[in-house]
Amino acid sequence: MAKLLNLSSGPQTRDRWTTPFIMYFVAASLLPAAIVGVVVNGLHSLFIILASVATAVLCEFVFDKICKKPDTWKDGSAVVTGMLLALSLSPSTPLYGPILGAAFAIIVAKCCFGGLGKNFINPALAGRCFLLISFGKSMTLFEVDGVATATPVADLAAGKAVNITAMFLGTGGGVIGASILALALGGLLLWAMDIIHGQIWISVLVGFTVFMGLFGGHGFDPEFLLAHLCGGGVIMGAFYMATDYTTSPVSRLGQTVYGLLIGILGALFRVAGSAADSFSYSIIIGNLFTPLIETYIIPKPYAYRKSAIALQNGEPQLPFWKKIPRPVIVLTVIALVTGAALGGVYTMTKGTIEEKKRQEKLASYKEVLPEGEEFVSDPGLDEKVSEIGGSYGTDFGKITINEAIIAKNASGETAGYGLSVTSGDGYDGNVTVSVGISSDGVVQGIAFTELHETAGMGMQAAEPAFYEQFKNRAVSRFKLLKGGGAAAADEIDGISGCTRTSTAVTNAVNAGLDFYENVLKGGNYGE
């Protein structure tokens, strides 16, 4: 009985990849994006991923046992669902979010419709949309260092400038799986392995880009289009969700129509919708249209295709260039596209990034010199800074005076000087501060424009308890006290356990005071 033939209706086909291999390979291709998300957003992101994957696997296991079905939880599809759901969530999502979302995705969207191969919409997207509808406030909360902030796509919708390079690398905020570079590399690898269909993800991106160019309000501006492609789950959706075997068409033409539908709907929701982050809904609508597409777009039988007829007629075989293994071609394309993307992103965003840095620097000068209404440069002062070169003496460690600018008050008189000073002695790299010094030598305050110290430790330098110690002090040099107990005007309490960060900041401020004393004082700059 065990050797009986298993007969089924056509078509009968076998593939070199098994379902478990495909699913676990997809999960592995998502690991780079997951790692970037955890490194950028912190340990809570890891807990979200683990909770989502564990819940998805456990729910499928329990469902199989209750319904006395084969152990389908072993095929890896639940792992992929859990990972995709987690990577599409905010790093601030409470842990009940991925647990409830994964349970809904597996039990309702997948198992209740018959399991893998029978679900009519993508389970991970079903779980995400369930959370957005049921727990909208907590699911759309994005925080950085405990402060609520908007996603890059929300900023785009509001007409604000965004850092496209940070979005591309995954450091610009948003969902856990926000690294476009990691997602694109993983998706292109799946394409190279012939696991996903190029007709789908290419048509999704083409449909989205063309619609945004036509109706987005900025024409085919490369920077505008790239910003939208890098945000809102477009890349994750195109490579990982729209390409789901069960919910996408089987014919090449059908896949192209399906992909264009998703891309156009996603762009339409981005342009005219109230929720900027709504690409998930366009994919689910595309899933619902799949049966209709399959009904009207029927694949041509192989015997009627040109390649099969040519083979039957004994016509010449494929040319040499078509015999090159597809993975070799695709991996070469991946390398070229990645290099071009990185170079293109840098070129297109260089000016925007520099302008953003300039605005941030001016804002920091305004913060430390509140009486300043206008901030101007002085050729003579710029020359003095240039003469210093890359290092400012030896008394303050690795110090660089980056810039000196003059603050003018409402009457056009010199209100003080703003200095940008960098110390290379921070625990985790450079520490750059803007130091505001009044015309009579009083430190008005300091503000950070570059600080990458350890969270919870050196980053305490950015808290008022530390940096406000420098405010409104008339001294020639500050003294750092490691043990606390500062009482004199020139004494500063260091951050407990963070001597290097405290020293770097204090040395930067002291270098600014020294520059004022030896260069700015009595120099008649800006007059």
Residues 49 and 186 in one domain: no
Whether 314 has a pLDDT exceeding 70, the answer reads no
Are residue 448 and residue 374 in the same domain, yes or no?
yes
> Looking at the structure, do residues 189 and 303 belong to the same domain, yes or no?
yes
What average pLDDT does this structure show over 84-101? 91
Q: Is the peptide bond before 11 cis (omega within 30 degrees of 0)?
A: yes
What's the rounded mean pLDDT across residues 186-213? 90
pLDDT-derived band at 154, boundaries 50, 70, 90: low
Phi-psi region of 497 (alpha: psi -120 to 50; beta: other; left: phi over 0): left
Residue that terminates a domain, selected from 130, 149, 168: 149
Which of the two residues, 45 and 117, has the higher pLDDT score? 45
DSSP state of 89: S
Q: Confidence class of residue 458 from pLDDT cuts 50, 70 and 90?
A: confident
Confidence band of 312 (pLDDT split at 50, 70, 90): low
In this predicted structure, the answer to whether residue 359 has a pLDDT above a threshold of 60 is yes
- What are the backbone dihedrals phi and psi of residue 493, each rounded to the nearest 5 degrees, phi first? -80, 125
- Give one DSSP letter per residue of 435-477, joined into a string: EEEETTS-EEEEEEEE----TTTGGGGGSHHHHGGGTTB--SS
Residues 120 and 184 occupy one common structural domain: no
- Yes or no: say if 449 and 382 are a contact pair by the CB < 8 Å rule: no
Same domain, 285 and 387: no
pLDDT tops 60 at residue 9: no
CA distance 151 to 155: 6
Q: How many separate domains does the chain show? A: 3
Separation CA 177–CA 184 (nearest Å): 11
Min mean pLDDT across 186-195, 373-382, 388-397, 469-478 is at 388-397
Query: Does the pLDDT at position 311 exceed 70?
Result: no
Last residue of a domain, one of 356, 385, 402: 356
**In this predicted structure, what is the pLDDT of residue 489?**
84
- Sort strands 479-481 and 491-493 into parallel, antiparallel or unpaired: parallel
Residue at 110 is within a domain: yes
Bridge partners, 400 (sequence order): 422
Confirm whether 102 is domain-assigned. yes
Q: What is the pLDDT of residues 462-520, one digit of tens each?
A: 888 888 888 888 888 999 888 778 788 888 888 888 888 889 999 989 988 888 888 88
For residue 236, what pLDDT band results from cuts at 50, 70 and 90?
Answer: very high
Q: What average pLDDT does range 158-165 have in this prediction? A: 71
Highest mean pLDDT pick, 45-54, 159-168, 427-436: 45-54
Tokens of 107: 């039990």
Tell whether 122 and 220 lie within a shared domain: no
Least confident of 80-89, 293-302, 465-474: 293-302
pLDDT at residue 160, as a whole number:
64
Reported as a pLDDT band with limits 50, 70 and 90, residue 316 is low
Residues 436 and 332 in one domain: no
364 found inside a domain: no
φ and ψ at 452, to 5 degrees? -125, 35
The type of residue at 17 is W
pLDDT of residue 307: 62
| pLDDT score at 147 | 44
Mean pLDDT (whole number) for 406-416:
84
Q: How far apart are CA 404 and CA 330, in angstroms?
A: 51
Q: What is the pLDDT of residue 173?
A: 76
How far is Cα of residue 341 from the mean position of the Cα atoms in its chain?
Answer: 15
Judge whether 12 lies within some domain. Answer: no
**Is there a single domain that holds both residue 213 and residue 117?**
no
Residue 216 CA to residue 158 CA, distance in Å, equals: 13
User: By C-alpha distance, which of 121, 145, 41 is closest to 461?
Assistant: 145
Residues 433 and 316 placed together within one structural domain of the fold: no
Neighbours of 11 (CB within 10 A): 8
The whole-angstrom separation of Cα 201 and Cα 197 is 7
**Same-domain status, 466 and 337:** no
- Within this chain, do residues 287 and 246 fall inside the same structural domain, yes or no? yes
Please give the model's pTM, rounded to 2 decimal places: 0.60
Q: Copy the structure tokens of residue 275.
A: 């929720």
Task: Fill in the DSSP letter of residue 152.
Answer: H
Q: Is the pLDDT of residue 348 over 50?
A: yes
Q: What is the mean pLDDT of residues 341-363?
A: 68
pLDDT of residue 35: 94
- Residue 5: predicted pLDDT: 58
H or E stretch including 227? Answer: helix 222-229
Position with higher pLDDT, 189 vs 141: 189
Domain extent, residue 84, equals 18-149
For residue 326, tell me if it sits in a domain.
yes
Q: For residues 404 and 483, which has the higher predicted lDDT (pLDDT)?
A: 404
Residues in the chain, overall count: 527
In a domain, 1, yes or no: no
Domain end residue (candidates: 114, 149, 184): 149
Q: Residue 361 falls within a domain, yes or no?
A: no
Residue 476 lies in a domain: yes
User: Are 211 and 158 contacting, i.e. CB atoms less than 8 angstroms apart?
Assistant: no
Q: Average pLDDT over the chain, rounded to whole?
A: 82
- Return the CA Rg of the chain: 29
121 CB-near residues (< 8 Å, 6+ apart): 109, 247, 284, 287, 288
Bigger pLDDT: 73 vs 339: 73
pLDDT above 70 as % of the chain: 79
**Residue 169 shares a structural domain with residue 253:** yes
> What per-residue confidence (pLDDT) applies to 1?
47
pLDDT at residue 318 in the model: 57
